[in-house]
Amino acid sequence: MAAKTGSRRARLVRAPGPIYVDASALARLYLPEAESEALERQVLGRTDLLASDLAVTEVVSAVARRVRDGQLREPQALRVYEALLDDLASGVFLRQDLDSQAHRAAERLLLQRPGPGLRAADALHLALALGAGTRTLLTYDDRLAVAAAASGLHVLAVR
């Protein structure tokens, strides 16, 4: 998973699967954060992790931001990007497609939770998780976590 560890895996003990991994969690698997090592230990070995191309694009945006901010060099950024794509291609993550049904479901979620709640990308992640029949959402986004729990999903943020 993380660029430094390749595609090794271990076991997530308590969270019921399948597990949808949003961008905030996916980024922590490829970019060093305080929670990265604990998170990686928990997800390694799972065969029921789902991710979307939306999450991938958001992670690449975070990688590019780190390059712009001088926190990451371009060759490192390319290695992170390639590791993420390799893991997707090899089936480390099952792909959840962002189609028109997911958009309509996200729009309904946004209308159900108006105000300062979900942002569009959060609603898309939640719609993808619900549409895939996942039981757990892995996220570090507080707004998304609240909405996921209100929708009946288990919420996990390994700290």
Give pLDDT tens digits for 98-135.
Answer: 999 999 999 999 998 765 578 999 999 999 999 999 99
* Residue closest to 29 by CA, chosen among 14, 47, 51, 13: 51
What percent of the chain has pLDDT above 70? 87
**Greatest Cα-to-Cα distance within the chain, rounded to the nearest angstrom:** 43
Domains of the chain: 19-156 (3.40.50.1010)
Q: Determine phi and psi for 115, rounding to 5 degrees.
A: 95, -155
| DSSP structure class, residue 34 | T
Across the range 35-39, mean pLDDT stands at: 88
CA-to-CA distance for 115 and 128, rounded, in angstroms?
A: 21
Sequence-separated contacts (24+) of 77-85 with Cβ below 8 Å: 79/3, 80/3, 80/30, 80/31, 83/1, 83/2, 83/3, 83/6, 83/30, 84/26, 84/30, 84/56, 84/59, 84/60, 85/56
pLDDT at 38: 87
When pLDDT is averaged across residues 134-148 and rounded to a whole number, the result is 93
pLDDT band for 9, please (50, 70, 90 cuts): very low
